[in-house]
Structure 1
């Protein structure tokens, strides 16, 4: 008989021992996590647009590649504050050839000004502007422009508005409708107040227009596995393009599924309307409310925490995980539990503000709500579901390719007569291998429950039309998440 790759007719003595690793693994090798962060870069960056760059934890690297204050550099910095471990790749998008950059204004009025400090907050970053005794609006405006432009990490530049001496005009560093979401405010933190005699009038960033060529962006994404994708563009066309790509990657022919993280900045009504307009099971969108940081930074922070945690355990809920460095909206406009519950039903992921003012994930729902007939469908309610299913598929594929890489296929009737070491797989052998995988990997890792039900319904059989094909139907009962504890207290007197 033949044994492995040792020839049957070899005559030279003495010992020939082949090493076979097909049964070496008793579990599943760790699934390497890769994150793709998409975002606009500035012309000052050294990276070629639409090329992939592997990112370390160096902020100077991010600035050099994509430009200081760019969307992509700021997103990467925010991602790394929540996750400094996972393998990250960045895909820079050149500034739009058509479109416009948003502009905003800060108008200063000063009457017998007292010395003090103007505490600005631009895109979540503090800008402190000193005010001298008896300073005029013009001198304050000049000082403000200098302080803003000195902080090159900001996504805006400042200049004096034409034909004025007291109005500071802020202009985004890139074009596109995303620039409308850059926040401008003052006196955000408790205790901050304007110097006596000084008032400010803020005009929000507006006028940003234009969206990227998502066909070119998607074409630039390598045909490789990115488990998590940071999506900064939430316009309908861009999201539809990425949705189609994600669904294609999720399919059985590619099996390189990924979850996209985006965010939406708006009121309660605007956020709900945005959520119900979509129905994507591989997207999760965090509603930011009118928070200081921009949506693309929220998406990056959200993806940072999610990618790290789901890489450890794809079935474990993300609730209470803090998205480091994000600032919450002002207390008076933060959404209450009723509003957040409604938004979750609209397909918008929510956050809570901890007693110490940190922003923590509350529930990581997907944007999927309805089946193809428009009826409610909670099967992909939380992104832990596709994350868990993706791991189960990965582990099954690894088991099959490692254990049966060059095997012959036969019916179960040959089992009693096979020589030991024969590379033959039968439906029964494959079924037992899958039961072993479920019992030794999926159940102990807390990814699947009801092993007896899985065993009873597991079917492995040869295809009736192709005798070289082995078919399988398996029904894992994936674990759920502990989201709600409900109790009724019935007391006696």
Structure 2
């Protein structure tokens, strides 16, 4: 019986018609590339700490993690940038012994005219109306009431004697990244303090005193083998980045390792001056982590930048993992004022030092300029660009998943023979040549999908062979040529004020038949 059946017994005697269904030649590779937001929850949330759960709306995020919490605010940024893809939340408990950051707003002098205080807390507009009859205590109380009336804010407020004390909603080091500012859009945007009013804000416009970094051991363990392709993880201290690199990296136990084959990327963000970010980037070297640097003057906290970055990356890479992320707007996050934004030299140097970069787009929103990973050096400490872009591993993951689906679907229970073996049609037998043909066919499909190029050289370098020490094993050298991206368009504008007419005449004479006056009479 040459045809290999999987279920119908070869010894069946009962008539007549028996059929088994084989889907191996019909299925297409399909996987849900979900995102994961990682952040601290508050006591108001009802989620179990360290256990990832799916989230479908902002209302769910608020209920599960607490309104105004770090994780709730991350979901606000996520849903403003991605409304279509699956996302989960990984709530973290407040670190043991942690402290919440605080800051004060002090009303020094009452206004000479009525108006509006355009206050911004973590980039969220909090308007406060004031009148000439108000005292400093009245104004401080009005600020307190306006802040506490907005449940989405990451702070609470308490007023006394003209001073408003702000306290972060949760405890941890990233509460130091909560900003307090005035008049983001300036006088041209209709925002200015009423004449005579004098207000002081926290030093550098940031809360301070926040202490405590989460312990990720239980949270990472609870993720198990659930695939999470795009992780927004806003903590950029050395220990946190190391733990997440180990989970997603290329070691045997990492998600890019051969044992797990789950793949994925970690996205983060960091506020800093140009020198600080440059030096910070030079200390890192991970192909699976991408940290976006942004200016000190941005009103939006780093955890919202990280969430927006991961959301836009997911939305784009799910559709096509090989297209660059440049020019994708990061909605909801607010850019630094014009005069504080990084210039060309600074952005170029940051990208050369393992920092993902952003710049202001035409819609006046920050946009991704280059999705750089922190990878810069090979194992010997020599400069290397193999994993420097998020799209490289995103494309490779797509190729490997396509290949795994083709092999596991079409050859799940096959016998293995040498090339040249004669066997009947329909037999569940493969040879190195059959597998090589399948890999070439899959490569052609991937090339048609715009993931790879150069089929000719792929065929030349592809090797499929039986293992000399294990007759049941095939070894494959798979050499895909990943498609590249249009990132630089360089033009030499070699202009002239006027072309040399004599040279033109010589050229015209060479390319045209001789002039015949008679034939043109």
- Using the size of structure 1 for normalisation, the TM-score is 0.96
Tell me, yes or no, if the aligned pair for 2:111 and 2:198 is still in contact at 8 Å: no
- Map Cα deviations across residues 92-123 of structure 1 (whole Å, 9 max, x no partner): 01122212111111111114532111100110
Query: 2:255 aligns to what SS in structure 1?
Result: helix
Match of 2:260 in 1: 254
Q: Does 1:429 align with 2:434?
A: yes
Equivalent residues in 2 for 1:183-194 (5 A)?
Answer: 183-191=179-187, 192-194=191-193
Unaligned runs of 5+ in 1: none
Match of 1:10 in 2: 12
Tell me, yes or no, if the aligned pair for 2:351 and 2:357 is still in contact at 8 Å: yes
Cα drift, residue 359 of structure 1: 1.4
Q: Does 1:223 align with 2:225?
A: yes
**2:163 aligned residue (161, 167, 188):** 167
Q: Does 1:145 align with 2:150?
A: no
Unaligned runs of 5+ in 2: 499-521
Cα drift, residue 52 of structure 1: 2.0
Match of 1:276 in 2: 282
**2:322 aligned residue (315, 321, 334):** 315
Which segment drifts farther, 14-23 or 430-439?
14-23
- Using the size of structure 2 for normalisation, the TM-score is 0.91
Alignment partners' CA distance in 2, 1:462 and 1:19: 30
- Map Cα deviations across residues 54-95 of structure 1 (whole Å, 9 max, x no partner): 110x22211111101000011012101111111111110112
Cα drift, residue 351 of structure 1: 1.1
Alignment partners' CA distance in 1, 2:362 and 2:454: 39
Q: Does 1:375 align with 2:374?
A: no
Tell me, yes or no, if the aligned pair for 2:111 and 2:131 is still in contact at 8 Å: no
Cα drift, residue 14 of structure 1: 3.2
Match of 1:329 in 2: 336
Cα drift, residue 12 of structure 1: 3.3
Alignment partners' CA distance in 1, 2:111 and 2:289: 54
Match of 1:418 in 2: 423
Equivalent residues in 2 for 1:43-122 (5 A)?
Answer: 43-56=43-56, 58-111=57-110, 113-122=112-121
Alignment partners' CA distance in 2, 1:333 and 1:237: 30
Match of 2:396 in 1: 389
Query: 2:448 aligns to what SS in structure 1?
Result: coil
Alignment partners' CA distance in 2, 1:263 and 1:20: 48
Cα drift, residue 15 of structure 1: 3.4
Q: Does 1:30 align with 2:30?
A: yes
- Map Cα deviations across residues 276-314 of structure 1 (whole Å, 9 max, x no partner): 111111001111212111111111101111001101111
TM-align CA RMSD = 1.3
Alignment partners' CA distance in 1, 2:414 and 2:457: 29
- Map Cα deviations across residues 4-39 of structure 1 (whole Å, 9 max, x no partner): 1433333333333333222224xx423321111111
Match of 2:510 in 1: none
Tell me, yes or no, if the aligned pair for 1:323 and 1:359 is still in contact at 8 Å: yes
Equivalent residues in 2 for 1:465-476 (5 A)?
Answer: 465-476=469-480
Alignment partners' CA distance in 2, 1:113 and 1:90: 48
Alignment partners' CA distance in 2, 1:11 and 1:142: 90
**2:349 aligned residue (342, 350, 355):** 342
Tell me, yes or no, if the aligned pair for 2:322 and 2:484 is still in contact at 8 Å: yes
Cα drift, residue 2 of structure 1: 5.1
